[in-house]
Structure 1
Amino acid sequence: MATAHKHTHREHEGEALIDAARRSLETQGERWTGMRSEVFEELARHSRPVSAYDIAENLSNRRGSRVAPNSVYRILDIFVRKNLANRIESANAFLVNSHPGCRHDCIFLICDDCGAADHVDDDALTGALREAGQAAGYAEVRPVVELRGLCAACSK
Structure 2
Amino acid sequence: MPVHAHTHHSGDDLTVAARGALESSGEQWTALRARVFDVLSGHAKPASAYDIAEALSKSEGRRIAANTVYRILDLFVGANLARKLESANAYVANDHPDCVHDCIFLVCDDCGRATHIDDDAVTARVRGAAENAGFQEVRPVIEVRGRCEDCA
Whether the TM-score (by the shorter chain) exceeds 0.5 is yes
Q: Among 25, 28, 31, which residue is 1:31 paired with?
A: 28
Output the CA distance in 2 between the equivalents of 1:17 and 1:152: 26
Alignment: residue pair count = 152
Q: Among 133, 139, 143, which residue is 2:140 paired with?
A: 143
Quote the offset at 1:88 in angstroms: 0.6
Alignment of 1:118-129 (within 5 A): 118-129=115-126
Q: Which amino acid aligns with 1:85?
A: A
Output the CA distance in 2 between the equivalents of 1:120 and 1:54: 24
Give per-residue Cα distances to partners, 1:114-145, cap 9 Å, x unaligned: 00110110111101111111111111001110
Determine whether 1:6 maps to 2:28. no
Structure 2 length as normaliser, TM-score?
Answer: 0.98
Unaligned 5+ runs, structure 2: none
Output the CA distance in 2 between the equivalents of 1:56 and 1:126: 32
Partner of 2:66: 69
Q: CA RMSD in A?
A: 0.7
Output the CA distance in 1 between the equivalents of 2:2 and 2:30: 35
Partner of 1:89: 86
The ranges of structure 1 where at least 4 consecutive aligned residues each deviate by more than 6 angstroms after the TM superposition are: none
Q: Which amino acid aligns with 1:76?
A: L
**SS of structure 2 residue aligned to 1:87:** strand
**SS of structure 2 residue aligned to 1:147:** strand
Quote the offset at 1:6 in angstroms: 2.2
Output the CA distance in 2 between the equivalents of 1:78 and 1:120: 23
* Identity within the alignment, %: 56
Alignment of 1:53-68 (within 5 A): 53-68=50-65
Output the CA distance in 1 between the equivalents of 2:82 and 2:106: 16
